[in-house]
Amino acid sequence: MKFSIILPTYNRAESFLSRAIESVINQTYIDWELIIIDNNSIDNTKNLIESYKNNQIKLYNISNNGNIAKSRNLGISKASGDYIAFLDSDDYWDQNKLKKSFTILTNNPIYDGLCHAEYWLYPDGYKLTKKYGPKEFFSSESLLMRGNSVSLSAMVIRKNKIEEINRFSEQTEIITAEDYDLWIRLAGIGTKIAFTDESLGYYQIHNLSESSNILRNTEAVISVIKSHLNNKSAQLNLALSNCWINAGKQFYLNHSNSEALRAYSKSITYDYKNIKAYILIIGLIMPVKLYKYLVKLKNI
């Protein structure tokens, strides 16, 4: 079994890129190729990649005009592996990620892919264990109702399944939510994903995860939801209500309580019966540091 790892990057040579690359090179499973798609970086990206002198690493250049789906689709088109694994340039993996993925997928051939848990790393030093699943979660209806709560860097999927749905959508209105659209379409063709609670990767949340980016991503998610629920008004309103709840949670964890309140209030305008929004509004009285501490205790 060969894994093709798709890693898009842009001007990350001085920050996270080497950490991501080395987490692949140090894998205990050796049948892999790392396909790096560089969006014409103007830093030291090319020299950094070449310095590894590793023939399993392949570099391609692209001008994606801010549409990362184009980079990922180029990587998929160059992939020779049986499975595609995605790794963003600011994330990194446990050294046993591919080996354990191989073991789970080999022992459970009914599955087309695997999603593992991750550690989410916050700028303030907080580390959250994020678990996904269970397997019933990976259905079109569940994804639309619950939102995109699967990390791209935690997924490994058969290449032929991604090809079957014609890879990532490159529509500009869903930029930053193209992975969410991919999951919904994969679920729609019956793709089966195994889930494990073992954390095999690290998802980096950094200072660029600011309010404007949360809002931009939320609008992209809304575009995805509308494209899949265009003629189902009752489901659409509930999905949009939950979408704004998810945005509010992100604002809260970013210490933006006023923005969180606006998001939760917007959730209520779509579905005033969505009790989660009211509970979360009350929950805003809890300092985010205390919330993170309680979550950490729960995960110990």
**Domain positions in the chain:** 3-204, 229-299
Residues with Cβ < 8 Å from 206, sequence gap 6 or more? 90, 123
Asked if residue 20 lies in contact with residue 87, where contact means CB atoms within 8 angstroms, the answer is: yes
Tokens representing 141 are 């209806």
Out of 3.90.550.10, 3.40.140.10, 3.30.1360.30, 3.40.50.1820, the CATH code matching 3-204 is 3.90.550.10
Phi-psi region of 143 (alpha: psi -120 to 50; beta: other; left: phi over 0): alpha
Q: How far apart are CA 68 and CA 170, in angstroms?
A: 8
Asked if residue 64 lies in contact with residue 1, where contact means CB atoms within 8 angstroms, the answer is: no
Local confidence band at 207 (pLDDT 50, 70, 90 cut-offs): low
Q: Is the pLDDT of residue 96 over 60?
A: yes
Q: Percent of the chain scored above 70 by pLDDT?
A: 96
CB atoms within 10 A of CB 110: 7
CB atoms within 10 A of CB 232: 12
Q: How far apart are CA 271 and CA 269, in angstroms?
A: 6
| Lowest model confidence (mean pLDDT) among 54-68, 226-240, 284-298 | 284-298
Instruction: Write b or e for each residue in 23-53: b if 16 or more Cβ atoms lie within 10 A of its Cβ, otherwise e.
Output: bbeebebeebbbbbbbbebeeebeebbeeee
Instruction: Quote the pLDDT of residue 209.
Output: 47
Q: Is the pLDDT of residue 294 over 80?
A: no
pLDDT in tens, 135-167: 677 889 999 998 887 889 999 999 999 999 999
Q: How far apart are CA 234 and CA 122, in angstroms?
A: 36
Asked if residue 175 lies in contact with residue 272, where contact means CB atoms within 8 angstroms, the answer is: no
Q: Provide CATH code, domain 229-299.
A: 1.25.40
